[in-house]
Amino acid sequence: MSLTSRTNNKLQYIFLNSRFIRDKFISHAVKEAYRGCIEENRFPVTFVFIQMPYDQYDVNVHPTKIEVRFYNSNLIHSQILAVLREKLLAADIGVSAKLPAPQHKNRQINEAIAEFFQKNRPIHTQQQIGFQTAPPAKKYQTQYISPGTEYESQPPQKRNFLQIHDSFIVAETEDGFCIIDQHALHERIMYENLCRRIKAGKLESQKLLMPESFEVTAAEADAIRNNTALIEKLGIELIPFGPKTMAIQAFAVMLAKASPLDFIKDLIDLLADKCKNENSEKLLDEVLNMAACKAAVKAGQKLNDKEIEQLLTDKDAFQRAGRCPHGRPTMIKFSKAELEKQFKRT
């Protein structure tokens, strides 16, 4: 499946029984299916082909018959959403990098020269052209002698990864390597874990040693009151702490890396900005997106080997690890073949 996207939905083509149509319910289903796979405010380029009985919709609602009225639009919406999500989950939506090809003025001449040297390789050995053959290296065996004691060093443990700029992880793969944005990947992992825990019940919470107090306006107090159930589901306990003041009594264990006070302020801002008629499922998803972002490791944060190993292990446990909840790529893959081409080994 393609993750090509545009700034509008003009390149979304829907065909109902081979007839091109426009339908807001189907367009919404497509956007929801791709949520988390592409960046926000982007629209995927899609071709949707629907086959259904003619008696389940009415074509006489638009002069050009480009719009139709489905007799059960909710069912159509849910089925298209389910099919697209299933396809996206099964697809590899990671980003593969393609290194720039070398620029040649005359490709045919260069290819002919390369072919000549490939067929007529020189037979000189290293010693014949002046290089000295290095003595065979010892297999990690060195000796350190101290009074009365002799030690033998152990071979170093192989590491298939390294962290660069305290923000990216370079990891070896079967056919090359990948560069991982540590924050984006951990954000996706946190988001998936939060969704799983929320479906099972509310998040586990822990009492703070000292309640953290903060002031609230009348609008913010209303937002807290109108979303009490959602706040409790997140494992957060807020209590009155005086005139126009609230205090954080307990906070979610899963969000331990986030600052409770900063998180609560951002959460209240988010809840206050949303209208009362906001879809509860969509609101919860936005809150979990924010929570995952706040609790994930940050760019510029030094990670030890165990933390990196855990991150790489968790990456393989989720089908949509290639994108963060906002749709940005979490990793870019480079193939060994591309590297060999750049170093002219092929």
Of residues 146 and 112, more confidence is placed in 112
Structure tokens at 110: 């260069």
pLDDT in the model for residue 1 = 57
pLDDT in the model for residue 137 = 46
Q: What is the mean pLDDT of residues 152-176?
A: 82
pLDDT in the model for residue 245 = 93
Q: Where in the chain is the domain with CATH 3.30.230.10?
A: 5-91
Amino acid residing at 225? R
* SS3 assignment, position 161: strand
Amino acid residing at 71? Y
What's the CATH number of domain 5-91, 3.40.50.720, 3.40.50.970, 3.40.50.10490, 3.30.230.10? 3.30.230.10
Structure tokens at 238: 């807020």
pLDDT tens profile 306-343: 999 999 999 988 878 888 988 888 999 988 888 888 88
**145 torsion bin: left (phi>0), alpha (psi -120 to 50), beta (else):** beta
Number of Cβ within a 10 Å radius of residue 84: 20
Average pLDDT, the chain: 81
Range of weakest confidence among 114-123, 228-237, 254-263, 287-296: 114-123
pLDDT tens profile 63-87: 878 888 899 988 998 889 888 888 8
Structure tokens at 12: 């979304």
pLDDT in the model for residue 129 = 37
Considering the domain 164-346 in this protein, what is its CATH number?
3.30.1370.100
Q: What is the pTM of this model?
A: 0.68
Amino acid residing at 118? Q
Q: Where in the chain is the domain with CATH 3.30.1370.100?
A: 164-346
pLDDT in the model for residue 291 = 94
Kindly tell me the sign of the dihedral angle through the C-alpha atoms of 67, 70, 74, 77: negative
Kindly tell me the sign of the dihedral angle through the C-alpha atoms of 60, 64, 70, 74: negative
Of residues 346 and 126, more confidence is placed in 346
pLDDT in the model for residue 210 = 92
Q: What is the DSSP string of 220-266?
A: HHHHHHHTHHHHHHTT-EEEE-STTEEEEEEEEGGGTTS-HHHHHHH
pLDDT tens profile 33-55: 888 777 777 888 889 999 999 99
Phi, psi dihedral angles at 7 (to 5 degrees): -85, -5
pLDDT tens profile 295-314: 999 999 999 999 999 999 99
pLDDT tens profile 204-255: 999 999 999 999 999 999 999 999 999 999 999 999 998 899 999 999 999 9
